[in-house]
Amino acid sequence: MLDVIKLLPDSVANQIAAGEVIQRPASAVKELMENALDAGATQIDLVVKDAGKSLIMVVDNGCGMSETDARLCFERHATSKISRAEDLFAIRTMGFRGEALASIAAIAQVELKTRRKEDEVGTKIINEGSVVKEQSLIPMLAGTTFSVKNLFFNVPARRNFLKSPQAEMRHIVEEFTRVTLMNPEISFTLTADGKELYHLYSGNLKQRIMGLFGNSYESKLLPVNQDSEKVRIHGYIVKAEHARKTRGEQYFFVNKRFIKHAYLHHAIENAFMEMIPKDSFPGYFINIEVDPADIDINIHPTKTEVNFLDVKLVYAILHAAVRKAIGQHNLSPTIDFTETPNLNIDFGEVAKASRPLVMPDVPIDANYNPFRQTPSNQEFKPKWNEFPQHRDRPSGDWRQLYGERTDINKGAETEMEETPTNSQYLQVNQSYIVTTVKSGILLIDQHLAHIRVLFEKFLKQLENHNGISQQELFPQALSLNMNDASLLKELLPELENLGFVMEQANPTTFMINGTPADATGCDAVQLLEKILDNYKINRTDLQLDRKLNLAKTLAAQLSIKAQTRLTEAEMQNLVDQLFACNVAEVAPNGKKIYVLLNVEEFFEK
């Protein structure tokens, strides 16, 4: 019987390994940028085309490589970071296993240009599918340029499973954000399809956060700093009032390496307990400095998972640091010592204080008698409307009973005028509509009823592309981070069908020129932010589901809320619209809209 076990060729083994390390274009971006950081670069430029499918280029001004190193860097497990297993527990650099470049070269066409500062010329190497096609000497500036072209060109199945360009670009931006956040001393740029999306200058961490997520974060951040013998924690948390409905800006780093850690995330959530709604999430940008010997980062191919030697200690210190930052913000007074207050002391008045005190003269009317009866022409007339217990007092002429109205009681007068005694509709607690039908009494939740009406209306507009828009007198600017801007671009066709009119001023800013006719009086910026948050929670690639979710979100935001007074005409209009819907019984979230009460059942023996 023939032997069945055989060694795989290096090219096949590299392709298999690449499946673990390089899952999508963003994976290659991460590895190349981390290599540039390890090379000591102070300027790193990332250029992508077709969301990384056609080109990923990383240019740095780091230390560069010699001709021999340039050739060896594409070999599997070729690394300058470790030489024995013990070195794995003293790692402070990003890449160290020597798998990244070998994996990239196995599934792409790679061009490497590199030169050390002490060398006169650089080295150029072209590698396709783990095969070196060309090696030559070229003149160039000191540093390294990696160009990855036609990713997965020899693995068509993997290429076919890539997501849409917008989705892949979001992953690239996310990896770019993770690498740049905790390296604010380094300058970065990101250019996609000829457009510069980010130009980040060197600075401090707060400036870097603002550069990535917008200038609005200048007032949203609270510093977190805690030093101990074992752990040093620094970074920023987002104030509780700016908590979001989605897990947006949540970034943990260990020794400047991005990680995911549910246990430590719980420490921050617990610190924000009772300060943010249950369905909201705190934002944070936290770096944890620990001794490399106290962590193990070699437990996952992407190195985003970390084992701590004493994770409970880290949890306790992190929780205390966040609570301290929150407490200082909420309790400590803010005193500005940079300005000297002008006390405006009048020393002439101070001198007068030394004069002898004189008792004040209080005039008294000796003939005043508080028990004397009030003259008939000034007889006190109570205004019954000022006393709630008398508002339902029966009378033939309620205006004479209640007397003259003051400005304070205009609301009560309006309510009585708008609710005649023969009204067919009654509003209970300004939240429920009560009316009679042949079979009994109908109790309708006005909020859920309006959601159902708007939901079906918006669905029809999405299907028929006939949403009505109202022009904004003063266009509003909506500033987003790059990922949210990409999501909004995906939703633009549907939003335009609903009546939104927007134009993109720059990669992260949209001008709102028009809103749906039903959004009168609504803050358009907040409305779109809530639509994006809900879309991220319920994201789907199915067009129908996307329309349903969009119609639900918009209907919920624009519907009549509880504790809203309605006139009889408004109540009648809402009820008529409800029973003209295809599904009048339940709201889009499955809750019952109305209850039918059979009067006879209440009096049955």
| 258-270 residue pLDDT tens | 988 889 999 999 9
Q: Which is nearest to 288 in space by CA: 275, 278, 280, 297?
A: 297
Instruction: Enter the tokens of residue 56.
Output: 């990923």
The answer to whether residue 91 scores a pLDDT higher than 70 is no
Beta strands in 101-142 (DSSP E): 109-115, 122-128, 131-138
Q: Residue 508 in contact with residue 548, Cβ under 8 Å?
A: no
Q: Residue 113 in contact with residue 138, Cβ under 8 Å?
A: yes
HSE of 435 in the Cβ direction (CA atoms, 13 Å)? 17
Instruction: Enter the tokens of residue 163.
Output: 């997501």
The answer to whether residue 493 scores a pLDDT higher than 70 is yes
Task: Decide which of 3.30.230.10, 3.40.50.1360, 3.10.20.30, 3.40.50.1980 is the CATH code for 206-330.
Answer: 3.30.230.10
Helix (H, G, I), strand (E, B) or coil at 480: coil
Amino acid sitting at position 546: R
Q: DSSP string of 329-348? A: HHHSPP--TTS-------HH
* Alpha-carbon 235 to chain mean position: 18
Exposed / middle / buried, residue 529 (Cβ in 10 Å: 0-12, 13-18, 19+): middle
Mean pLDDT computed over every residue of the chain? 80
The answer to whether residue 3 scores a pLDDT higher than 90 is no
| Span 332-343, average pLDDT | 44
Instruction: Enter the tokens of residue 15.
Output: 């392709």
Q: Residue 107 in contact with residue 155, Cβ under 8 Å?
A: yes
Q: Residue 305 in contact with residue 299, Cβ under 8 Å?
A: yes
Q: Residue 552 in contact with residue 420, Cβ under 8 Å?
A: no
- Measured distance CA(501)–CA(167) in Å, rounded: 24
Least confident of 51-65, 211-225, 363-377, 437-451: 363-377
What is the residue extent of each domain of the chain? Answer: 10-200, 206-330, 384-418, 443-578
Q: In this predicted structure, what is the pLDDT of residue 405?
A: 37
Q: Which is nearest to 531 in space by CA: 513, 547, 543, 542?
A: 547
| Span 225-253, average pLDDT | 88
- Measured distance CA(107)–CA(110) in Å, rounded: 9
* Alpha-carbon 343 to chain mean position: 45
The answer to whether residue 418 scores a pLDDT higher than 60 is no
pTM of the predicted model as reported, rounded to 2 decimal places: 0.69
**pLDDT class of 409 with cuts at 50, 70, 90:** very low
Task: Decide which of 3.30.1370.100, 3.10.450.50, 3.40.190.10, 2.30.42.10 is the CATH code for 443-578.
Answer: 3.30.1370.100
**pLDDT class of 84 with cuts at 50, 70, 90:** low
Q: In this predicted structure, what is the pLDDT of residue 90?
A: 56
- Measured distance CA(316)–CA(233) in Å, rounded: 12
C-alpha triplet 553, 555, 560: angle, nearest 5°? 130
Amino acid sitting at position 11: S
- Measured distance CA(454)–CA(584) in Å, rounded: 12
C-alpha triplet 482, 486, 489: angle, nearest 5°? 140
- Measured distance CA(227)–CA(476) in Å, rounded: 43
Q: Which is nearest to 384 in space by CA: 370, 395, 373, 371?
A: 395
Query: Residues 540-556: pLDDT tens digits?
Result: 555 667 788 889 989 98
Beta strands in 150-276 (DSSP E): 187-192, 195-200, 221-227, 231-238, 250-254, 257-259
Look up the CATH number of domain 10-200: 3.30.565.10
- Measured distance CA(423)–CA(572) in Å, rounded: 10
The answer to whether residue 348 scores a pLDDT higher than 80 is no
Least confident of 73-82, 141-150, 274-283, 322-331: 73-82
